[in-house]
């Protein structure tokens, strides 16, 4: 076992013991044992404008064992703590699935009316996963710090030498393959680097094409993929690259509300895991594409804001929309018609979630599609999308009802993507921050 | 005589009843057994509790013939006995009472026992045997009697007496009738059972021909207050009663007759009434014509300033006795009783009493609580559907409002006692719908039901608290184990675990307000199941 691993274990054991000691002291004093932790709810999730990320708010949750509504959760939290503790002691690396099985057993008792009742400590993994998240906020650690593993998803290649466990790995010598980002990215040590930026590609297929093309070598990039929705390890890894290597991070995702959202998860964090943002989010990450304006240019948008009312409304969402730099499309009219896909109602609803109804109302012309959107109370969009750039992007989306996958850019020619689109966007600063 | 002429002949009361025995409840061999036992038991009870003696009543039924369905029915009581000179008439002559006082009792005019004697005579030909003694007498008297039906006179077949060797008083009556015991049995048992429910102060034993002993032992020493004989209330008067009064009492003047025969009439009132009837207060009562009598009745009844009738003539069971009776019968988890204040209808005083049992061995009421009806301590077993009490229980009380969700183990006992219970029809098995009575019944049931509601809501609160405690306590062992894994080593594991369990048990008991035992019980059951 590597030294770094042993140190991590010892730290984690201390944290668990410390927290449980507090509890046993309450019990010894004859008090009701109470766990106090930040409230992990939507209402207590706030967007920190200064740090540009989603964080847990100041609300605390008290979980008392003697509160009948909390007793089971209390028991589950302690049960999970004990399983994790044992795993740390025994030098194991459980996955969240392992923890689910290890803790799942029946509590059998005689109820007051004499019936024999059997109840599971937890039934579905959803429950035990939620308990793990509670423990993370209670102990203010990430589960990776407790040496809990999850499936490896993210990959990386580039001119970067790292140490993982007792091995030194050169990420430029991975052949056609790539280094899988380990679930405990904090145990990775960066040894040597020769790169100018980090490019995160949402799609694994595009990552592989760029890798085989030799993109990272040619442009001195560290190439990362999250293979879809980024997992925690990939986000933490990207964050460490950004923080420790001081390199800019560019995100390349699909040109649709899902792609935009994936970017925002990298940048600001997610609502369900907002307690991790401080360690997982990379606020400096930039969206280089694919942008709606890369497909359509800005003529559609200009036409819309020529109207006074529309301009005024959009100006209320984000001031400065008239000062945006003009933008020419990368695609010709015929390419456009070949590559774009028509947006579905679900895409529209996702987009509304990002920027709110106002933008949709002003920019959408298709009344039929508009009527299909389910209206939910209080959807005003996320603050980090209330910028002139994003308003323009989403306005074009609402107006054209079109989306585009990165693969389409690659099919225009890998050369176009690797040698023109990406380098040109980076060098000209054509990104959204 | 022409063919259109009818032959008219006077019949003696004995002959009348002999011919019309259905009216008295002897319509068939099943009813006959039941009715015989009822008449004798009720007489036995009237001889005891009405006089403040805690009843010891023993009923013995024996097969009396090898081939025929003859049964000897013997009822023994420890009552006040019957004066020996009265015995022949009491059992052998059908009489109308000549008393003009009122008192709550079970039997009316002592008619029933004579019907029993007549019925025995008619079916088996065997005489009635009576053994009796009063408390102050030194001898015990013995009679064997039959009734001369045509002459309505007792015929003494045997009589004798012997010195008391122990301090016994009471009456033993034995008759042999033809009857269908097998089919009457369940009805008789139900009657005895229902009678015993309101007589927890009595020892009641029944010995069947199959040699089964059914015994209801005394469980309380409290006795109902004995009824006091009172004069009738003027509002309950009718022409028949007044005529009989005038004929059979020797008052000199109308004024005296009124003052002495009724409660609540003094000199001034008597004068006012007589004047209103247009009569002379000094008239000799037996000189009144029928028209004058009618005028007097109307004057008496239309006077509206009487005090309500005296309830002293009533003998309610009292709450304690009702509760004791219901407890003995049903071992309910909740029981309450309400004895309403005396009230009156048409000059007859009455008291309504309500008992309510819930849970335990209380029978299940399906669409309404089970209703046990009593009139002057006698159970009413039949004609439930037409009874006003049942109507009130079913239609006028929203049991939901009292937290009773039917079907439920709930029973309502209603006892109506009165010098004149208003029965519906000749069967005397259901109570008539008299507004004053209905109101009292409803108020009584509502009061009892409020008690139940209080109990049930408290119970629900307690159950909820227990359930809450249970839902916490079941996790104590798991919490203790988890904490000990983290904070103890192999040697200290068990000690820490036990200590945490002990402390948590105390904290949970304190916070939920539930007993320590209950929580310990749950914790132990978890450990037992887990094999700790």
Q: Does B486 touch chain A (CB under 8 A)?
A: yes
B294/B321 same-domain check = no
pLDDT at A247 over 90: yes
Q: Does A27 touch chain B (CB under 8 A)?
A: yes
Contact (CB<8Å) A32/B507: yes
Got the DSSP string for B255-276?
HHHHHHHSTT--HHHHHHHHHH
Q: Measured between beta carbons, which residues in chain B are less than 8 angstroms from residue A21?
A: 487
What part of B 503-522 touches A (C-beta under 8 Å)? 503-504, 506-508, 511-512, 518, 521-522
Q: Does B481 touch chain A (CB under 8 A)?
A: yes
B146/B205 same-domain check = yes
pLDDT at B182 over 80: yes
Instruction: Pick the last residue of a domain from B456, B486, B515.
Output: B456
User: A271, A355, A288, A353: which is closest to A44 by C-alpha?
Assistant: A271
Q: How many C-beta atoms lie closer than 10 Å to residue B227's C-beta?
A: 22
Weakest-pLDDT range from A236-240, A327-331, B315-319, B447-451: A327-331
Q: Does B478 touch chain A (CB under 8 A)?
A: yes
Of the candidates B470, B482, B507, the beta carbon closest to that of A111 is on B470
Look-up: residue for tokens 């709550």?
A: B104
| Three-state DSSP string of B157-222 | EEEEEEECCCCCCEEEEEEEEECCHHHHHHHHHHHHHHHHHCCCCCEEEEECCCCCEEEECCCCCC
Q: What is the mean pLDDT of residues B445-450?
A: 96
pLDDT at A322 over 90: no
Q: What is the mean pLDDT of residues A373-397?
A: 83
B93/B115 same-domain check = yes
B270/B404 same-domain check = no
Give the residue from chain B lying closest to A79, CA to CA. B482
Q: What gap in Å lies between CA B258 and CA B244, rounded to an integer?
A: 14
Contact (CB<8Å) A109/B500: no
Tokens of B144: 């064997």
Rg (alpha carbons) of chain B, rounded to whole number? 31
User: A25, A80, A73, A107: which is closest to B482 by C-alpha?
Assistant: A80
Q: What is the mean pLDDT of residues A180-193?
A: 90
Q: Measured between beta carbons, which residues in chain B are less than 8 angstroms from residue A121?
A: 478
**The pairing of beta strand A197-201 with beta strand A249-252:** parallel
Instruction: Give kind and range of the element (H or E) at residue B453.
Output: helix B435-473
pLDDT at B1 over 60: no
**The pairing of beta strand B343-345 with beta strand B348-358:** antiparallel
Q: Which residue has the higher pLDDT, A121 or B149?
A: A121
Angle (CA) A231 A232 A234, round 5°: 70
Q: Which residue has the higher pLDDT, B4 or B486?
A: B486
B178/B326 same-domain check = no
pLDDT at B322 over 90: yes
Q: Is residue B276 part of a domain?
A: yes
Q: Which residue has the higher pLDDT, B298 or B363?
A: B363
pLDDT at B3 over 60: no
Instruction: Pick the last residue of a domain from B456, B487, B508.
Output: B456
Instruction: Pick the last residue of a domain from B266, B285, B302.
Output: B302
Angle (CA) B282 B286 B288, round 5°: 75
Q: Specify whether the CB–CB gap between B138 and B164 falls below 8 A.
A: yes
Q: Is residue B222 part of a domain?
A: no
Q: What gap in Å lies between CA B405 and CA B366, rounded to an integer?
A: 10
Q: Which residue has the higher pLDDT, B72 or A411?
A: B72
Of the candidates B474, B508, B522, the beta carbon closest to that of A66 is on B508
Q: Does A62 touch chain B (CB under 8 A)?
A: no
B368/B514 same-domain check = no
Q: Does A78 touch chain B (CB under 8 A)?
A: yes
Of the candidates A27, A109, A117, the beta carbon closest to that of B503 is on A27
Q: Is residue B2 part of a domain?
A: no
Q: Is residue B346 part of a domain?
A: yes
pLDDT at B240 over 70: yes
Q: Is residue B228 part of a domain?
A: no
For residue B525, what is the DSSP state? H
pLDDT in tens, A101-137: 999 999 999 888 888 999 999 999 999 999 999 999 8
Of the spans A106-110, A274-278, B251-255, B275-279, which averages the highest pLDDT? Answer: A106-110
Domain with residue B199: its CATH number is: 3.30.565.10
Q: What is the mean pLDDT of residues B40-53?
A: 90
Q: Measured between beta carbons, which residues in chain A are less than 8 angstroms from residue B530?
A: 107-108
Q: In the prediction, which pLDDT does B480 show? A: 94
Tokens of A387: 């910028």
pLDDT at B95 over 90: no
Give the residue from chain B lying closest to A75, CA to CA. B479
B401/B495 same-domain check = no
Domain with residue B384: its CATH number is: 3.30.230.10
Tokens of B334: 């909740």
Q: Is residue B8 part of a domain?
A: no
Choose the mutation target among A66, A87, A117 for the interface with B, i.e. most B CBs under 10 Å. Answer: A66
Q: Is residue A101 annotated as a catalytic residue, yes or no?
A: yes
pLDDT in tens, A216-229: 999 999 999 998 88
Q: What gap in Å lies between CA A119 and CA B257, rounded to an integer?
A: 85
- Place A273 in a pLDDT band, splitting at 50, 70 and 90: confident
Q: What is the mean pLDDT of residues A384-396?
A: 89
Tokens of B329: 């019968």
pLDDT in tens, B118-134: 899 989 999 999 999 99
Does B300 sit behind a cis peptide bond, omega within 30 degrees of 0 on the bond before it?
no
Alpha-carbon A266 to chain mean position: 5
What's the ipTM? 0.75
**The pairing of beta strand A402-403 with beta strand A341-342:** antiparallel
Of the candidates A30, A75, A81, the beta carbon closest to that of B507 is on A30
What part of A 184-203 touches B (C-beta under 8 Å)? none
- Place B28 in a pLDDT band, splitting at 50, 70 and 90: confident
Give the residue from chain A lying closest to B485, CA to CA. A82
Q: Which residue has the higher pLDDT, B526 or B59?
A: B59
pLDDT at B10 over 70: no
- Place A366 in a pLDDT band, splitting at 50, 70 and 90: confident
B193/B242 same-domain check = no
Which position among A18, A85, A100, A101 bears the catalytic label?
A101
Q: What gap in Å lies between CA B352 and CA A284, rounded to an integer?
A: 88
Q: What gap in Å lies between CA B251 and CA B247, rounded to an integer?
A: 10
B425/B297 same-domain check = no
Domain count, chain B: 4
Residue ranges of the alpha helices (H) in A289-329? 292-296, 299-305, 308-317
Q: Specify whether the CB–CB gap between B112 and B94 falls below 8 A.
A: no
Q: Which domain holds residue B421?
A: 311-456
Tokens of A148: 């809990």
Q: What gap in Å lies between CA B327 and CA B453, rounded to an integer?
A: 19
Q: In the prediction, which pLDDT does B101 show? A: 62
Provide the CB-side half-sphere exposure for B236 (13 A, CA): 25
Q: Which residue has the higher pLDDT, B499 or B95?
A: B499
Q: In the prediction, which pLDDT does B243 show? A: 83
Q: What gap in Å lies between CA B436 and CA B430, rounded to an integer?
A: 16
Portion of chain B with pLDDT greater than 90, in percent:
54
pLDDT in tens, B241-252: 888 888 777 788
Angle between helical axes of A257-268 and A345-355 (0-180°, round to 10):
40
For residue A67, what is the DSSP state? S
b/e code B421-431 from CB counts within 10 Å (16+ = b): bbbeeeebbbb
Q: In the prediction, which pLDDT does B438 show? A: 95
pLDDT at B102 over 70: no
- Place B424 in a pLDDT band, splitting at 50, 70 and 90: confident
Q: In the prediction, which pLDDT does B291 show? A: 87
Average pLDDT, rounded, for chain A: 88
Contact (CB<8Å) B507/A112: no
Angle between helical axes of B516-530 and B476-487 (0-180°, round to 10):
70
B349/B256 same-domain check = no
- Place A197 in a pLDDT band, splitting at 50, 70 and 90: very high
CA distance A186 to chain B (A): 25
Q: What is the mean pLDDT of residues B369-374?
A: 96
B271/B124 same-domain check = no
Q: What gap in Å lies between CA B252 and CA B260, rounded to an integer?
A: 11
Contact (CB<8Å) A65/B479: yes
Q: In the prediction, which pLDDT does B109 show? A: 47
Q: Does A328 touch chain B (CB under 8 A)?
A: no
Tokens of A101: 């099985």
pLDDT at B6 over 80: no
Q: Does A104 touch chain B (CB under 8 A)?
A: no
pLDDT in tens, A51-60: 788 888 888 8
pLDDT in tens, B199-230: 999 999 999 999 999 999 999 999 998 888 88
Tokens of A259: 């792609």
Q: In the prediction, which pLDDT does A75 show? A: 96
B285/B411 same-domain check = no
User: B114, B144, B141: which is closest to B129 by C-alpha?
Assistant: B144
Q: Specify whether the CB–CB gap between A173 and A167 falls below 8 A.
A: no
Domain with residue B271: its CATH number is: 1.10.8.50
The H helix count followed by the E strand count for chain A is 20, 17
Q: In the prediction, which pLDDT does B333 show? A: 95
Q: Is residue B469 part of a domain?
A: no
Q: Does A122 touch chain B (CB under 8 A)?
A: no
Phi and psi at residue B59, to the nearest 5°: -115, 125
**The pairing of beta strand A179-180 with beta strand B334-339:** unpaired
Choose the mutation target among B476, B478, B480, B524 for the interface with A, i.e. most A CBs under 10 Å. Answer: B478
Choose the mutation target among A82, A87, A90, A102 for the interface with B, i.e. most B CBs under 10 Å. Answer: A82
Q: What is the mean pLDDT of residues B269-296?
A: 85
Q: Which domains does chain A have, with CATH numbers?
A: 3-146 (1.10.10.10), 155-288 (3.40.1360.10), 292-403 (no CATH)
Portion of chain A with pLDDT greater than 70, in percent:
99
Of the candidates A33, A74, A82, the beta carbon closest to that of B486 is on A82
Choose the mutation target among B471, B485, B513, B521 for the interface with A, i.e. most A CBs under 10 Å. Answer: B485
- Long-range contacts of the stretch A426-431 (C-beta < 8 A, 24+): A426/A197, A426/A250, A426/A288, A430/A288, A430/A291, A430/A327, A431/A250, A431/A286, A431/A287, A431/A288, A431/A289
């Amino acid at each position: 076992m590597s030294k770094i691993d042993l140190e991590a274990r010892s730290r984690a054991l201390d944290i668990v013991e410390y927290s449980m000691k507090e509890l046993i002291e309450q019990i010894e004093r004859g008090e009701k044992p109470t766990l106090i932790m930040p409230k992990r709810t939507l209402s207590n999730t706030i967007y920190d404008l200064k740090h540009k990320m989603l964080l847990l708010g100041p609300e605390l949750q008290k979980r008392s064992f003697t509160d009948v509504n909390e007793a089971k959760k209390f028991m589950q939290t302690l049960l999970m703590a004990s399983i994790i503790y044992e795993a740390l002691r025994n030098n194991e690396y459980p996955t969240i699935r392992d923890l689910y099985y290890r803790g799942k057993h029946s509590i059998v008792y005689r109820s007051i009316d004499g019936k024999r009742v059997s109840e599971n400590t937890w039934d579905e993994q959803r429950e035990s996963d939620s308990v793990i998240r509670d423990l993370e906020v209670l102990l203010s650690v990430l589960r990776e710090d407790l040496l809990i593993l999850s499936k490896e998803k993210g990959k990386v290649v580039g001119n970067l030498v790292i140490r993982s466990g007792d091995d030194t790995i050169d990420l430029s010598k991975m052949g056609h393959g790539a280094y899988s980002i380990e679930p405990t990215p904090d145990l990775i040590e960066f040894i040597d680097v020769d790169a100018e930026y980090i490019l995160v590609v949402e799609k694994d297929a595009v990552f592989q094409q760029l890798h085989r093309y030799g993109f990272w070598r040619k442009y001195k990039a560290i190439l990362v993929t999250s293979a879809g929705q980024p997992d925690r390890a990939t986000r933490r890894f990207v964050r460490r690259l950004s923080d420790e290597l001081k390199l800019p991070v560019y995100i390349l995702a699909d040109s649709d509300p899902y792609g935009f959202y994936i970017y925002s998860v990298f940048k600001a964090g997610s609502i369900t895991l907002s307690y991790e943002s401080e360690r997982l989010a990379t606020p400096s990450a930039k969206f280089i594409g694919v942008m709606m304006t890369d497909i359509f240019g800005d003529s559609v948008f200009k036409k819309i804001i020529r109207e006074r009312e529309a301009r005024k409304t959009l100006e209320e969402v984000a001031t400065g929309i008239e000062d945006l730099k003009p933008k020419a499309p990368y695609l010709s009219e015929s390419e456009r018609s070949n590559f774009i896909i028509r947006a579905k109602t679900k895409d529209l609803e996702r987009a509304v979630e990002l920027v709110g109804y106002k933008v949709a109302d002003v920019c959408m012309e298709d009344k039929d599609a508009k009527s299909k959107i389910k209206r939910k109370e209080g959807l005003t969009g996320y603050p980090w999308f209330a910028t002139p750039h994003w308003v323009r992007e989403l306005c074009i989306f609402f107006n054209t009802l079109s989306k585009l996958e990165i693969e389409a850019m690659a099919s225009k020619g890998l050369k176009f993507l690797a040698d023109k689109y990406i380098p040109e966007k980076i060098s000209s600063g054509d990104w959204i921050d | 005589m022409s063919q259109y002429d009818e032959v008219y002949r006077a019949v003696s009361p004995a002959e009348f009843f002999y011919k019309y025995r259905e009216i008295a409840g002897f319509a068939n061999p099943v009813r006959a057994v039941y009715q015989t036992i009822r008449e004798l038991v009720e007489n036995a009870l009237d001889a005891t509790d009405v006089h403040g003696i805690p009843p010891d009543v023993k009923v013995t039924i024996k097969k009396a013939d090898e081939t025929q369905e003859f049964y000897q029915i013997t009822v023994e009581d420890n009552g006040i006995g019957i004066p020996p000179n009265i015995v022949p008439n009491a059992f052998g002559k059908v009489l109308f009472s000549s008393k003009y006082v009122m008192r709550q009792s079970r039997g009316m005019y002592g008619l029933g026992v004579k019907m029993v004697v007549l019925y025995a005579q008619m079916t088996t030909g065997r005489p009635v045997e009576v053994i009796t003694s009063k408390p102050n007498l030194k001898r015990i008297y013995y009679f064997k009697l039959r009734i001369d039906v045509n002459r309505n006179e007792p015929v003494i077949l045997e009589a004798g007496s012997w010195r008391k060797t122990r301090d016994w008083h009471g009456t033993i009556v034995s008759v042999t009738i033809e009857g269908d015991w097998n089919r009457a049995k369940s009805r008789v048992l139900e009657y005895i059972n229902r009678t015993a429910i309101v007589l927890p102060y009595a020892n009641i034993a029944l010995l069947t021909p199959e040699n089964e002993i059914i015994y209801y032992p005394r469980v309380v020493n409290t006795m109902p207050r004995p009824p006091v004989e009172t004069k009738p209330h003027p509002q309950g008067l009718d022409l028949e009663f007044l005529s009989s009064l005038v004929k059979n009492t020797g008052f000199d003047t109308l004024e005296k007759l009124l003052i002495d025969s009724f409660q609540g009439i003094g000199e001034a009132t008597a004068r006012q009434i007589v004047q209103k009837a247009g009569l002379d207060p000094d008239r000799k009562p037996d000189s009144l014509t029928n028209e004058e009598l009618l005028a007097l009745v109307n004057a008496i009844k239309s006077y509206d300033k009487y005090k309500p009738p005296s309830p002293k003539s009533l003998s309610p069971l009292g709450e304690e006795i009702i509760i004791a009776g219901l407890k003995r019968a049903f071992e309910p988890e909740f029981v309450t009783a309400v004895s309403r204040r005396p009230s009156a209808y048409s000059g007859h005083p009455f008291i309504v009493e309500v008992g309510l049992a819930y849970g335990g061995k209380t029978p299940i009421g399906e669409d309404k609580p089970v209703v046990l009806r009593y009139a002057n301590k006698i159970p009413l077993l039949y004609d439930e559907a037409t009874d006003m009490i049942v109507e009130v229980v079913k239609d006028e009380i929203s049991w939901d409002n009292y937290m009773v969700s039917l079907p439920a183990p709930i029973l309502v006992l209603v006892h109506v006692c009165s010098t004149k219970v208003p029965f519906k029809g000749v069967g005397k098995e259901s109570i008539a719908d008299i507004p004053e009575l209905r109101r009292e019944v409803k108020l009584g049931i509502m009061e009892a039901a409020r008690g139940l509601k209080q109990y049930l809501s408290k119970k629900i609160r307690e159950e909820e608290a227990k359930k809450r405690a249970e839902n916490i306590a079941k996790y104590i062992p798991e919490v203790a184990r988890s904490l000990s894994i983290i904070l103890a080593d192999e040697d200290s594991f068990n000690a820490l675990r036990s200590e945490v369990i002990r402390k948590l048990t105390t904290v949970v008991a304190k916070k939920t307000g539930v007993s320590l035992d209950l929580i310990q019980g749950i914790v132990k059951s978890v450990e037992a199941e887990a094999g700790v």
